[in-house]
Chain A
Amino acid sequence: MTSRVSTGTRPGARFAQFKLVLLGESAVGKSSLVLRFVKDQFDDYRESTIGAAFLTQTISLDDTTTVKFEIWDTAGQERYKSLAPMYYRNANCAVVVYDITQASSLDKAKAWVKELQRQANENIIIALAGNKADLVAEHPDKRAITTSDAEAYAREAGLLFFETSAKTAENVRELFTAIARKLPLEQAGARNMRSNPRQGVDLRPEAPGTQGGGACNC
């Protein structure tokens, strides 16, 4: 796992970084979910994502605990199924997305869950997200997958489960927060904080905190 936990500057503060991969059929709204979570935006006419996306977002779980997600989105290249293996390699968590108005998209999601359980980290945290809840709120007859069916499957497979709407932001933050709470912060923390917060080697010539680590490209 690529998790990194370290003590922050404040006493007792914890910072942890986790790799998250987003999987699911084309057009179920994977990129929209990320966009909502990271930038709090939504675009109704978003075209199929060109290339793949990589974004980060940081959330505070409580006064002392900060979790940073590195989010890898396979958007646009589902057909070749070739990005997923390098995205879920060493991933700590995965969000498998389906569209609650498309019955077949849950089958696809189940196939992804199977692949993750077979190939990814043994203790990867997987969340199932039934997206496009807004469509059903307006037109209940559009629903193709009942909440209880999906919930039952998620329970059986040991997944976190949410019905989400990237458009209205319903349950989006809740989804990622639930994942963050389930991640093994304590374990990773205990292991890494004991000796040296940075066990690894810093390749940057400048000392941390100085210019160079900054991200402003405006």
Chain B
Amino acid sequence: MESLSDTVWDVVLAGTGLAQSLLALSLSRSGKKVLHVDKNEYYGGLEAALSLQEAEIWAEAADEGAGSSPYRHATIKNLEREAPVQEADGALKLGFSRAYSLSLSPQLIYTRSNLLPVLVSSKVYRQLEFLAVGSWWIYENKDVTEGGQDGEGDARQGGLRRIPGGREDVFADKSIDLRSTRSLMRFLKLAADPETHMSILEEWGNRAFPDFLESRLSIPPRLQAPLLALTSSPHPPTETLTSYALPRIHRHLTSIGMFGPGFGAVVPKWGGLAEIAQVACRAGAVGGGVYVLKRGFESAEMPDLQASGRNSVRFDKDTGLSTLCLQGGEQIRSHWVVGSIWDLPLQIDQNPGDRMQTNYVARSITIVSGSLAQLFPSPAEGAPPPAGAVVVYPTGTLEPQSTDQTPGSSGLGLPPVYLIIHSSDTGECPAGQCVIYACSFHPTNADSHQILQVAVAKLVASVREDPPATVLWCMHYDQRYNLPATTEDYEANIRCDHFMNDHVLQLPDVVPGMALEDDVLKHVRAAYRRIVGDDDVAFMLFDDREGTGDDIDEN
């Protein structure tokens, strides 16, 4: 094999996050010479999955990585180490490091996601396993539960209520009075019918979603909370616009039942989106792509490059080739260079003003002893056993008692807190344990970590388990994010304005929210279009490779 610098590459991909990996997959049959590098020694970039040991190393780097990574304030607490359990065994104790595959990208994938058909048409689904996300739960405080008709619920500190999965569930829910049932039915019908959305959004689009529910449909506040939860909105209700909420509820409702009864979303086994990224990279390698880990670009943080700024990628107009320097000094030449903002040789956060507008999401990963089986009831007859569950703490349920001192309280309340629970069926932890992924788009971050901790603690306390479930290990961190692109011009979104070179493309980060958004694949497709030319009809449409087909179906 020639050395990296002897080859003239068609495409150099930087970083093995989901977006770059999907691009590698899409190019794997194009005949193009692809070099795929990653500065990390692991695959997955921001979507990686980590063992306990890897998580320790990751957290150390993330904590001090300001400017070169989207993370900050990463801390790990090993509660077992602090208070070792004597004589306990099995699931009550933290397992060995490699028994865990903790996902930095636990997002659920709606069955209507544009990604799933592409995984099938590109044939990589054969290497993936998907598990159902079953129930959605909402946390309700005591006063609210008592306000309902089932006042007997033991709600010392509140409790979980399952969000109805559809019409049948709404009818079956005895705590909803008849009038409200009718209102809800009207809403469900309307939300499922996209043709009516246009006219609704014209009038209500820029108004708060609760306002729409109450004024237009007379849905009482208690029943608004579950609907708001289904939007996965990062904001408190008053800041969640109808234009944001309605399409998301539509997605949620129409996804249910698509691949089987009772569920509308899936998670990949073995570490969330990390697994999809790796499978895509493997397909890239089988297609001839060259993979090199621990080799990023010489970053613009190097003092001599800092001065030259824009010159970290040299572009030759005559040949159309960009020249870059890999870590270690190797010069490489390529027609196209594609990466995330964290992988391209850019200077990030140079301008202190940038920091002010930066949004962060507080995230945590918690390993719990106990299977929390109560959260994973079979959602319907014949449904695959769920391995994922969602718990939402609406605005107002986690506020400290003295509400006047709430940070960032301008009468709006804290943003909701979202928890995705992965059972051990996901392969992310040993049997008898589960992993709780929490996030909140908390604007001030001062005590957002504590709020996530409270949310997890309340969940663990509200689930009855024998012996009682306990937290074994947790990691907290902040992740920077940009709001999803508002424009549908995906070609413009992948332009990288930092270079005077339109052969450098920048794939936006996957938004660290609850669900994987469709724009990830749309950006990948836009990049594919730029690279192969306008004709993208063959995008991700592959035959099985010779000798790899399903000669025996396991059914």
A residues touching B (Cβ–Cβ < 8 Å)? 1-2, 4, 6, 8-9, 15, 17, 38-39, 48, 50-56, 58, 66, 68, 70, 72, 76-77, 79-83, 85-87, 89-90, 119, 121-122, 195-205, 208-209, 213-217
On whether the beta carbons of B119 and A199 are closer than 8 Å, the reply is no
A198 touching B555, Cβ below 8 Å: yes
A38 CB, min distance to chain B CBs, angstroms:
6
The answer to whether A77 touches B1, judged by C-beta atoms less than 8 angstroms apart, is yes
Interchain CB contact (< 8 A) of A54 among B132, B263, B548, B550? B548
CA–CA, A201 to B293, complex, Å? 32
Q: Interface centre among A15, A50, A52, A66, by most B CB within 10 Å?
A: A52
User: In the complex, what residues of B have CB within 8 A of residue A217's CB?
Assistant: 543-544, 546, 549
In the complex the two chains form, is A200's CB within 8 Å of B130's CB?
A: yes
Q: A82 — which chain B residues lie within 8 A by C-beta? A: 291-294
A1, A39, A48, A209: which contacts B553 (Cβ < 8 A)? Answer: A209
Most B CB atoms within 10 A — which of A87, A195, A201? A201
Q: Does B196 contact A (CB under 8 A)?
A: no
Asked whether B380 is an interface residue with its Cβ less than 8 Å from the other chain, the reply is no
CB <8 Å contact, A66 and B291:
no
With A122-B99, A214-B550 known as contacts, the answer to whether A70 contacts B555 (CB < 8 A) is no
Q: Is the CB of B285 within 8 A of A51?
A: yes
Report if A56-B1 is in contact (Cβ < 8 Å); known contacts: A201-B260, A203-B130.
Answer: no
Given the known inter-chain contacts A195-B385, A196-B385, please indicate yes or no for A201 contacting B132, CB distance below 8 A.
Answer: yes
Q: Which residues on B sit within 8 Å (CB–CB) of A195?
A: 385
| Contact count band on B | 35 or more
Residues from chain A with Cβ under 8 Å of B119 in the complex: 203
Chain A residues with Cβ below 8 Å from B385 are 195-196, 199
Closest 6 interchain pairs by CB?
A215-B549, A51-B288, A82-B293, A52-B285, A217-B543, A82-B291
Asked if B282 and A48 make an inter-chain contact with CB atoms under 8 angstroms apart, the answer reads: no
- A197/B555 contact (C-beta < 8 A), A213-B550, A217-B543 known: yes
Which chain A residue lies CB-closest to B274? A89
User: Is B159 an interface residue when CB atoms closer than 8 A count as contact?
Assistant: no
Are the C-beta atoms of A198 and B270 separated by less than 8 Å?
Answer: no
- In whole angstroms, how far apart are the Cα atoms of A199 and B201 in the complex? 40
Are A87 and B548 interface neighbours, CB within 8 A? no
Q: Which of B278, B286, B551 contacts A52 (CB 8 A)?
A: B286
Q: Which B residues touch A38, using CB under 8 A?
A: 547
Chain A residues with CB below 8 A from B263, complex form: 201
A122 engages B98 (CB within 8 Å): yes
* Contacting pair B291 A90 (CB below 8 A): no
* B513 → chain A closest CB, angstroms: 22
**Is the Cβ of B549 less than 8 Å from the Cβ of A203?**
no
Docked Cα-Cα span, A125 to B278, in Å, equals: 22
A76 to B471, CA, bound (A): 45
Complex CA distance for A83 and B38, rounded to whole angstroms: 12
In angstroms, how far is the closest chain A Cβ from the Cβ of B229?
A: 23
Chain B residues within an 8 Å CB radius of A213:
550, 553
Whole-angstrom distance between the Cβ of B350 and the nearest chain A Cβ: 31
